[in-house]
Chains A and B, each alone.
Chain A
Amino acid sequence: MSDLAIIIRNMNKWYGKFHVLKNINMEVKVGEKIVVCGPSGSGKSTMIRCVNRLEEHQSGDIIVDGIELSDDLKSIDKVRAEVGMCFQHFNLFPHLTVLENCTIAPQWIRKVPQKEAEEAAMRYLERVKIADQALKYPGQLSGGQQQRVAIARSLCMEPKIMLFDEPTSALDPEMISEVLETMVNLAETGMTMVCVTHEMGFARSVADRVVFMDGGEIVEENVPEQFFSNPQMDRTQMFLEQIIRH
């Protein structure tokens, strides 16, 4: 098995006639942390959503953990089993308690017995520091708490790769740090992570590489120090000026 977790080669995607992703090439090594940033509408969310086939790409290859994504449903199932995802709006299941949110997938997909699934769920809920809310419904929690539950829910499926699609964008400012802290802790465990985020502090401290996208293309890709102190492209410079100005 190669040490590459994700390979994206010459990937293109269109929405109707609109060319959303243009010739994307990217490699993510096992254990690597990638931060993807860029202005809104640049295609960064669409790109990571292609990695677990929430969106379909029309040309090029995506290979996740050695499995090539194709129309074959089995390959999609296999990839989804290895890849966890956190969404901007958490997408917890509102009719289930926090604990049930975490156990339902292991119980029904992995056929883990209820007791084992609950024990594992409690371990992960403790890790995201929310075990004391296990019996509440998502609607009773704050946004930051919900996002941490969503992270725990993904971890319960024991993924090799975690995708984060703007996990802090829908949060009130005072909730952002608790979610970022959880992500930093997760990064320390050696998880392979691809995060779409505007949190440049997180990118600086955690990312191995920062990928900047604009207009559906990868414009620049660099280690954080170089990326922030010495951006190569004009578009990157403009973007950084804009987000750092305030």
Chain B
Amino acid sequence: MAKVFVPTPPSPPPNSSTPAIQWLKRNFFNSPFSIVMTLLSVYVIWSIVPFALNWAILDATWTGTDRTGCDANPDGACWAALRVRFWQVMLGRFYGANPEEIWRPLVIFALFVVIAYLLLSETLPGEYRLYLGGFALIVFPVLTYGLIHGGMFGLKVAATSQWGGFMLTLILAVGGIVLAFPLGIVLALGRRSSLPVVQWLSITFIEFWRANPLITILFMASNLLPLFLPSEIEVDKVARALVAITLFQSAYTAEAIRGGLASIPKGQFEAADSLGFKYHHTMGLIVLPQALKVSIPAIVNTFIALFKDTTLVGIVGLLDVFRMAQTVSRSTEWKGFDYETYIFSALIFFMCCYGMSRYSQSIERKLNREHKD
């Protein structure tokens, strides 16, 4: 007799709802070693957190216009110092000294946040994003310089040597990132080009800037360059630093993008060729859109590194947010409050870099949803 096929009835799923105790046991107390480590960790946290909390928040001095309050309270942080000097740390000496002018950088900052949000969040339809992108690349930098520097429309002049603080950090980082990005694309394509001269030039450029520390490049840009230029040409100090950062960063961006380009299968090029696409179409429409998406994590990684590296401009006398905060604890009025100023600048860097990292993660997740193959 032929066997009749009888499907096996489905069995119930394994019990996946684990009570809290079981979870604790599995994750923290599953072996003698892990028990010791758990107890040790609890002890360390127990001895640090209350102290830090008391020092930084509960016992801290939050108000006051001079150091008398802080001196009377040595067991708490002196946030009053940073409150008094807040605008100087954020915007540099000129705006710190001219509080009635701070609306100028604040307007620019607000615009920057709005533009960045609209461009990055994909709320705008494609066409408008293109226009906004054009505005952000061409009009916005001019507007930024005009408004922050002043000297026209009756605005007081804020010389670039007086720029500083978080504002300068942002200008150097965002400027460096935005300028280095297209340069990096060109270099990455050049490095993979079939034309030997283009390839050789790209490799030389990338390897030269990658093989030098940023400090050296900044130093050369600000101290050596003027020696070679005629004395009547004086290039602005901030501009020189920005150029140095851009050249440095473009090499890293190029290498990140090259990784993405290498991940595009040969079949994509062949399909584009067989349809009759020319080089610029193949690259612009087919290869780069895919390669850039693949390299977003690597690119953002270089952006985060650059953002932190902007502190190095201190070596050529520019005062970024870190150096500006340092000047507070080195001034006669607030001498000695080093922890507070370092912690403050660390917090600012953390917020910016963590934000970038989260953004890159969300993009990655979104791309994984969109097209997997």
Interface residues of A (CB under 8 A from B): 52-54, 77, 80-81, 83-85, 87, 89, 91-95, 104-105, 108-109, 137-140, 150, 153-154, 157
Among B267, B276, B289, contact of A87 (Cβ-Cβ < 8 Å)? B267
In contact, B371 and A105 (Cβ under 8 angstroms): no
- Give the complex CA separation of A150 and B289 in angstroms: 20
Which one, A54, A94, A95, contacts B274 given CB within 8 A? Answer: A54
| Top 8 A-B residue pairs of the complex, sorted by shortest distance between their CB atoms | A91-B271, A139-B373, A91-B267, A85-B274, A105-B275, A80-B276, A137-B371, A139-B371
Tell yes or no: B277 within 8 A of A by CB. Answer: yes
Of B273, B274, B276, B286, the contact of A93 (CB 8 Å cutoff):
B286
Which residues of chain A come closer than 8 Å to B371, judged between CB atoms?
A: 94-95, 137-140
Asked if B106 is at the interface of the complex by the 8 Å CB criterion, the answer is no
Contact B271 A108 (CB under 8 A): no
Candidate in A83, A93, A138, A139 with the most chain B CB atoms within 10 angstroms: A93
Beyond known contacts A52-B273, A91-B271, A138-B371: 18 more, CB 8 A cutoff: A53-B273, A80-B276, A81-B276, A85-B271, A85-B274, A87-B267, A93-B271, A93-B286, A93-B290, A94-B290, A94-B373, A105-B275, A108-B277, A108-B281, A109-B275, A137-B370, A154-B274, A157-B275
Q: Are A54 and B273 in contact (CB under 8 A)?
A: yes
Q: For residue B373, which residues in chain A have a CB less than 8 angstroms away from its CB? A: 94, 138-139
| Residues on the B chain within 8 Å of A53, using CB | 273
A229 to chain B, nearest CB (A): 35
- Tell whether, in the assembled complex, residue B276 and residue A91 are in contact, meaning their CB atoms are under 8 Å apart: no
- Residues in B neighbouring A80, C-beta threshold 8 A: 273-276
**B285 interface residue (CB < 8 Å to A):** yes
By secondary structure, the B interface counts as: helix
**Considering the chains assembled together, what is the distance between the CA atoms of A154 and B273 in angstroms?**
12
The complex places the Cα of A80 from the Cα of B281 at a distance, in Å, of 15
* A153→B275 contact, CB < 8 A: yes
Is the beta-carbon distance between B370 and A84 smaller than 8 angstroms? no
B192 near A: Cβ within 8 Å?
no
Known: A137-B370, A137-B371, A139-B372. A92 touches B271 (CB 8 A): yes
Tally chain B residues at the interface, Cβ within 8 Å. 21
B236 interface residue (CB < 8 Å to A)? no
CB <8 Å contact, B276 and A95: no
Residue of B nearest to A52 (CB): B274
Q: B268 at interface (Cβ–Cβ under 8 A)?
A: yes
Closest CB-CB distance, B242 to chain A, in whole Å? 33
Q: Are B277 and A87 in contact (CB under 8 A)?
A: no
Q: How far is the CB of A187 from chain B (nearest CB, A)?
A: 20
Distance A80 CA – B277 CA, assembled complex (angstroms): 9
Of residues 272 to 288 in B, which have CB atoms within 8 Å of A's CB atoms? 273-278, 281, 285-286
11 pairs, A vs B, C-beta closer than 8 Å: A52-B273, A52-B274, A80-B273, A80-B274, A80-B275, A91-B271, A93-B290, A95-B289, A95-B293, A108-B277, A139-B373
Tell me if B270 counts as interface (CB < 8 A to partner A).
yes
When chains A and B are docked, how far (Å) is the Cα of A140 from the Cα of B370?
9
Q: Please, how many angstroms separate the alpha-carbon atoms of A91 and B264 in the complex?
A: 11
Q: CB-CB < 8 A to A139: which residues of B? A: 371-373
- Cβ-defined partner of B276 (8 Å) among A54, A89, A150, A157: A157
Q: How far is the CA of A94 from the CA of B278 in the complex (A)?
A: 19
Could you tell me if B281 and A93 are in contact, using CB atoms closer than 8 angstroms? no
The smallest beta-carbon distance between A171 and chain B, in angstroms, is 15
Cα distance A93–B286 in the bound complex, in angstroms:
7
CA distance A157 to B278 in the complex (A): 15
Which residues does chain B contribute within 8 Å of A92, judged by CB atoms? Answer: 271
User: Does the CB pair A91–B277 fall under 8 Å?
Assistant: no
B281→A109 contact, CB < 8 A: yes
Contact present for B290 and A95 (CB under 8 Å): yes
